[in-house]
Amino acid sequence: SRLKSQLLANLSHDLRSPLGAIIGYAEMLKEGSFGPMNENQEKAAAEILDGANQLLSFINNLIGQAQIETGRIVLREYPFKVDEIVGPLLSTLNFHAYKKGLKLVEYIDPALPQKQVGDQFWLRQIVMNLVHNAVKFTEKGSVTVRFIKRGKDYWAIQVIDTGIGIPLEAQKRVFEAFEQVNSMENSKQSGFGLGLSIVAKLTSSMNGKIELESEAGKGCTFTVVLPLKEPIK
């Protein structure tokens, strides 16, 4: 199992380099760096960028799963601003939601400290996984990403959707790797995959907890509660 995890991690790292090139060139095309494009060409570049970013997110999840299984996940914590977590993801997340006719809403609690300490890479992966999951199982309405203060010593990443929801009996299983919740409503979907499993394990490694509020047909609210760490002045 350890050897398989290591091979998976090595393969995933090798895949990230060519993906980085695809994403970089797609972004340049989309921004008109090689000259003006017509509407269909802009749409094609946006689709390439969205697909490549989703694939990169999946690869990051595979790496995370391999690191967790071998006990090698390392948090590199540095000062950051909350808007720096979601900022680099907004283009991808907005496009992902827009394709399904959904509204993506972002809210940052003004009570949150301007700077915190944490691992931006894995915090972004938490946000990406939660939003992708919300969009996947929401056909109309909105997906809201909230960064809020929780009491004196905690803060939270909260993702709220207006999707199909999760039946109570299935809620404990959604955080298991490769779990799929079967129902008539989501039978056309490919399941939860690794996304929520990685979110749960990353949250645990950050000494946090994850909360899920949902009812079948009434959407979901996932809340990742984390210790609030401010930089030493």
Q: Residue 227 has what pLDDT?
A: 96
Place of tokens 């301007």: 114
Give tens-digit pLDDT for 142-171: 999 999 999 899 999 999 999 998 888 888
pTM: 0.77
Position 230 pLDDT exceeds 80: yes
Q: What is the mean pLDDT of residues 42-51?
A: 85
Query: Torsion over CA of 170, 201, 135 and 48, rounded to 10 degrees?
Result: -140
Which one has a higher pLDDT value, 217 or 221? 221
Position 46 pLDDT exceeds 60: yes
For the CA atoms of the chain, what is the radius of gyration? 18
pLDDT cut 90: percent of the chain above it: 33
Position 45 pLDDT exceeds 70: yes
| 77 vs 121: CA distance, rounded Å | 9
Give tens-digit pLDDT for 61-114: 777 777 666 666 778 899 999 988 888 888 788 888 888 899 999 999 999 998
